[in-house]
C-alpha cells in the first residue's frame, strides 16, 4: 500500500491503481464521459483531469497510476474552467432539441452542463446536417448527437466482440459509424443495445413502439395482450425510485391493466414451455448421437451473432424459438381458438429488457402470414407509457396474471439471469432421464455474474458438461475452444448481455453492476421461496400439451415452437 493526499485528505491505495478509482472510492466526484468501468482507460474526453503537485499540466486521472506521496487537487478553479470549456466545445456542435430528446432526463452531457454552470453559448454553433439511421428494426442512430466519447465503440468491440461500429475519418471529420458508414441493418450489428446503455447522450436509442401500441389499444376490433419477461418485474421498480431488485410484479400487472391491455400474460410461462422443448431436445441429442454441444437459442442477439460470425455452429443451436415467440405463437393459435377470436384481431405486445427482441419479432420465421408478436416495448418504454398514462404505481393494488399463460415455475423466472436457462433445463433434463426431480435443484456453479461459468453434472451415470457465458466476447471464448476440439461440453447457454437479461440493452439507463447483482439476487430469492421450482410441474404447461401440443418435440409443437436459422452475409 502507498499513501497520497487527495483534496487535503490522506488516503491509501494499491500500487499502480489508477488515480480515478482511488478518488471515487474516497467519495470525491470527478466527471467522465469516455470512461468505461473495467476496460483499459483511454483518457480521451479529458473531463477527469486533476492537478498533481510538481506536475505542470493537467493529468487525466483515469489513465494515471498513483504514486507514493502524490498530492492531488480535483476541483481547483483551473480544473473547473478546463472541464467547463470541454463541455462548451461539445455543445458547440450538439443539437438544441432537448425538449424532444429521449435522453433529456438522463443525458450526461446536459447533466455536466448543469453541474459546471454552462449558461450561455461561448462558441459559434456549427451547422449539422445529420443523416439519422433508422434502418435497423431495433436501434436508431443520430450522428448529430454523438460527442465522440467512444463508449459505444468500446462496448461493441471489447465487451460484445462484435465491432459493428468504429471511428471513421480524422480530425474534425471524425464520426462514429458502421463499415462504409452504411445502415446498421446491413452491418454486423446484432441489435443487443449495449451501445445504447453506454451512450451518454441520445445518439443511440431503441426504435420506439409506444405509438403503435397506443393505436392498437384504441382500436375496438383488437384484443390486445401483453406479456412481461422475467427480468422486467425485478427492474421496473428502480425507475420509480424503489431499491434495486425490488420485485414489483403485482403492481406492474395492475399498471398494465390500467394502461388498457385486455390480457396480461407472463413470459415465464413460456420459459417453462421452452424448457420442456429444449430439455427434451438436449436429451434426444445426447441419447441419439445428435449434434453436440447443443446451444441455447432464446437470446436473439446471440442467434444473430452465430449466424454472422460462427455459421459453422448453426447446427448446434437449439431449434427452439425464444419464450417470447413461443407465447406469441400459442396465443394466436390455441388461445385464439379457445376464445373464438380471429388471429388477425389479436395484437400481441411483449415487454422485454432487450432491444434485440424488436429485431426478433420481425424475422420472417416468427409468424404465420402475420407476426406472432406485433410490438415490443423495452423496460424503459413501459416506464414511459406508465408515466404518459398518469398511473401512480405506489397506489396500485397488486393483481395476478391472466391464465392460462399466467402460471409459471421459478425455473421459468430464472431465465432473467445468466445461468438461469441452464439451471432450468438441467432440472427438467434430469427428470426426463431419471423420472425423478433433483433433490437440490440449485446448481451453484452456474450462478453469479462471472462472464464464463462451467460445471460437470452426473445424471443417472451420464456425465454432462455445461458452459455458460454472458456478454458475446465471452461467448467467443467458449466457441473458439470448441472449434479447437474441446469435447467435454454437451450443453452451452449464452446470454448476449453481461449478467443476462437483467443487464439487457432495454433496461434503465445508468445500470451499474450493483443493480444487476440485486436483480439477480431477487430472482434467486423467488426461486428459493416459492414451491413450484420445475418447469415440468407447471400445471398450465401440462394442460397445454394435453389439449393442444401433444408432446414435446411432437408434430404440433415442432410446427409452432421450433424454427431454423441461416448464415448471414454483412458488409466488411
Q: Assess whether 439 carries a catalytic annotation.
A: no
CA angle 121-127-129, nearest 5°?
A: 140
357, 358, 413, 453: the active-site residue: 357
Alpha-carbon span 213 to 358, nearest angstrom: 13
133-157 burial by CB neighbour count: b if 16+ within 10 A, else e? bebbbbbbbbbbbbbbbbbbbbbbb
270, 280, 297, 318: the active-site residue: 318
51, 206, 281, 381: the active-site residue: 281
Q: Assess whether 37 carries a catalytic annotation.
A: no
Contact between 32 and 48 (Cβ < 8 Å):
yes
Alpha-carbon span 313 to 307, nearest angstrom: 8
Q: Assess whether 493 carries a catalytic annotation.
A: no
Report which of 228, 226, 270 is spatially closest to residue 561, judged by C-alpha positions: 270
Alpha-carbon span 353 to 366, nearest angstrom: 19
344, 365, 530, 547: the active-site residue: 365
Alpha-carbon span 548 to 334, nearest angstrom: 7
R_g (Cα) of the chain, nearest Å: 25
Q: Assess whether 318 carries a catalytic annotation.
A: yes
Q: What is the 3-state secondary structure (H, E, C) of 21-39?
A: HHHHHCCCCCCCCCCCCCC
238, 307, 360, 381: the active-site residue: 360
146, 298, 320, 354: the active-site residue: 298
51, 278, 381, 423: the active-site residue: 278
Report which of 300, 278, 268, 267 is spatially closest to residue 497, judged by C-alpha positions: 300
Q: Assess whether 384 carries a catalytic annotation.
A: no
34, 45, 189, 501: the active-site residue: 501
Alpha-carbon span 280 to 287, nearest angstrom: 11
Report which of 477, 466, 521, 528 is spatially closest to residue 499, judged by C-alpha positions: 521
Alpha-carbon span 408 to 391, nearest angstrom: 27
Q: Assess whether 518 carries a catalytic annotation.
A: no
Q: Assess whether 206 carries a catalytic annotation.
A: no
Q: Assess whether 360 carries a catalytic annotation.
A: yes
Alpha-carbon span 175 to 197, nearest angstrom: 19
Alpha-carbon span 558 to 316, nearest angstrom: 17
Catalytic residues: 278, 281, 298, 318, 357, 360, 365, 501
Amino acid at each position: 500500500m502507498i499513501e497520497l493526499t487527495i483534496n487535503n485528505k490522506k488516503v491509501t491505495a494499491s500500487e499502480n491503481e489508477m488515480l480515478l478509482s482511488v478518488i471515487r472510492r474516497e467519495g470525491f466526484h470527478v466527471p467522465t464521459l469516455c470512461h468505461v468501468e473495467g476496460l483499459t482507460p483511454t483518457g480521451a474526453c479529458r473531463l477527469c483531469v486533476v492537478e498533481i503537485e510538481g506536475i505542470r499540466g493537467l493529468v487525466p486521472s483515469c489513465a494515471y497510476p498513483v504514486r507514493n506521496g502524490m498530492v492531488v487537487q480535483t476541483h481547483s478553479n483551473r480544473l473547473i474552467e478546463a472541464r467547463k470549456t470541454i463541455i462548451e466545445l461539445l455543445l458547440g456542435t450538439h443539437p438544441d432539441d432537448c425538449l424532444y430528446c429521449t435522453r433529456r432526463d438522463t443525458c450526461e452531457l446536459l447533466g455536466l452542463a448543469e453541474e459546471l454552470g454552462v449558461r450561455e453559448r461561448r462558441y459559434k454553433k456549427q451547422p449539422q446536417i445529420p443523416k439519422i439511421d433508422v434502418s435497423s428494426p431495433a436501434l436508431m442512430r443520430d450522428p448529430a448527437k454523438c460527442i465522440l466519447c467512444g463508449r459505444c465503440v468500446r462496448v461493441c468491440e471489447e465487451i460484445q466482440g462484435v465491432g459493428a461500429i468504429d471511428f471513421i475519418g480524422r480530425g474534425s471529420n471524425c464520426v462514429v459509424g458502421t463499415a462504409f458508414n452504411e445502415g446498421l441493418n446491413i452491418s454486423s450489428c446484432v441489435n443487443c443495445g449495449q451501445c445504447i446503455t453506454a451512450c451518454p447522450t441520445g445518439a443511440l436509442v431503441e426504435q420506439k413502439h409506444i405509438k403503435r401500441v397506443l393505436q392498437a389499444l384504441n382500436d375496438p376490433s383488437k384484443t390486445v395482450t401483453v406479456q412481461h419477461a422475467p427480468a422486467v418485474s425485478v427492474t421496473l421498480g428502480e425507475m420509480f425510485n424503489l431499491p434495486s431488485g425490488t420485485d414489483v410484479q403485482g403492481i406492474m400487472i395492475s399498471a398494465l391493466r390500467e394502461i388498457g391491455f385486455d390480457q396480461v400474460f407472463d413470459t415465464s410461462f413460456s420459459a417453462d414451455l421452452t424448457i420442456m422443448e429444449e430439455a427434451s431436445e438436449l436429451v434426444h441429442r445426447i441419447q441419439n448421437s445428435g449434434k453436440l454441444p447443443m446451444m441455447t437459442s432464446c437470446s436473439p442477439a446471440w442467434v444473430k451473432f452465430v449466424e454472422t460470425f460462427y455459421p459453422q455452429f448453426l447446427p448446434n443451436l437449439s431449434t427452439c424459438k425464444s419464450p417470447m415467440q413461443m407465447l406469441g405463437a400459442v396465443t394466436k393459435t390455441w388461445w385464439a381458438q379457445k376464445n373464438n377470436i380471429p388471429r388477425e384481431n389479436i395484437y400481441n405486445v411483449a415487454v422485454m429488457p432487450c432491444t434485440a427482441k424488436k429485431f426478433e419479432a420481425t424475422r420472417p420465421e416468427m409468424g404465420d402470414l402475420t407476426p406472432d408478436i406485433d410490438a415490443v416495448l423495452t423496460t424503459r418504454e413501459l416506464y414511459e407509457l406508465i408515466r404518459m398514462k398518469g398511473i401512480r404505481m405506489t397506489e396500485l393494488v397488486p393483481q395476478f396474471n391472466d391464465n392460462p399463460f399466467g402460471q409459471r415455475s421459478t425455473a421459468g423466472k430464472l431465465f432473467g439471469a445468466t445461468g438461469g436457462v441452464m439451471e432450468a433445463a438441467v432440472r427438467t433434463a434430469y427428470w426426463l432421464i431419471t423420472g425423478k426431480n433433483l433433490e437440490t435443484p440449485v446448481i451453484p456453479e452456474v450462478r453469479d455474474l462471472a462472464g464464463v461459468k462451467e460445471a460437470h453434472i452426473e445424471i443417472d451415470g451420464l456425465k454432462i458438461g455445461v458452459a455458460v457465458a454472458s456478454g458475446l466476447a465471452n461467448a467467443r471464448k467458449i466457441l473458439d475452444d470448441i472449434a479447437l476440439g474441446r469435447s467435454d461440453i454437451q450443453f452451452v447457454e449464452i446470454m448476449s448481455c453481461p449478467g443476462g437479461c437483467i443487464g439487457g440493452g432495454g433496461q434503465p439507463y445508468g445500470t451499474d453492476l450493483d443493480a444487476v447483482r440485486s436483480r439477480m439476487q431477487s430472482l434467486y430469492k423467488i426461486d428459493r421461496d416459492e414451491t413450484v421450482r420445475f418447469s415440468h410441474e407447471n400445471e398450465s404447461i401440462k394442460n397445454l400439451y394435453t389439449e393442444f401440443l401433444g408432446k414435446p418435440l411432437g408434430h404440433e409443437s415442432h410446427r409452432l415452437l421450433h424454427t431454423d436459422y441461416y448464415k448471414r452475409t454483412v458488409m466488411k
